[in-house]
Amino acid sequence: MRDFFIPFVTLRDTTPGYAVSLVKAGAGIVGYPGGNVRAPLTMHNDEQMSQLKKLVENAKLL
């Protein structure tokens, strides 16, 4: 919980709609690309993607 879920929720809550884009990005990181979200949702930025990759790597989901 402390190492993955809470940081993921914190990242998700930075912008409305990121719940969808971060799940899609996370799926892509582990090999299941889901594409981009549709408007009015927005995709993550490079810094958020880097944070998500670290979370996935630390959780040993790769």
- Domain spans, the chain: 5-58
pLDDT digits (tens, 9 = 90+) for 27-48: 999 999 989 899 888 888 899 9
Q: Is the pTM here over 0.75, yes or no?
A: yes
Spell out a b/e string for 19-45, using b for 16 or more CB atoms within 10 Å of the CB, else e. Answer: eebbebbbeebeeeeeeebeeeeebbe
> Would you give the distance in Å from CA 13 to the centre of its chain?
11
Chain mean pLDDT for the chain: 88
- Cβ 48 vs Cβ 11: under 8 Å: yes
Q: How confident is the model at residue 61 (pLDDT cuts 50, 70, 90)?
A: low
- The yes-or-no verdict on residue 60 having pLDDT over 80 is no
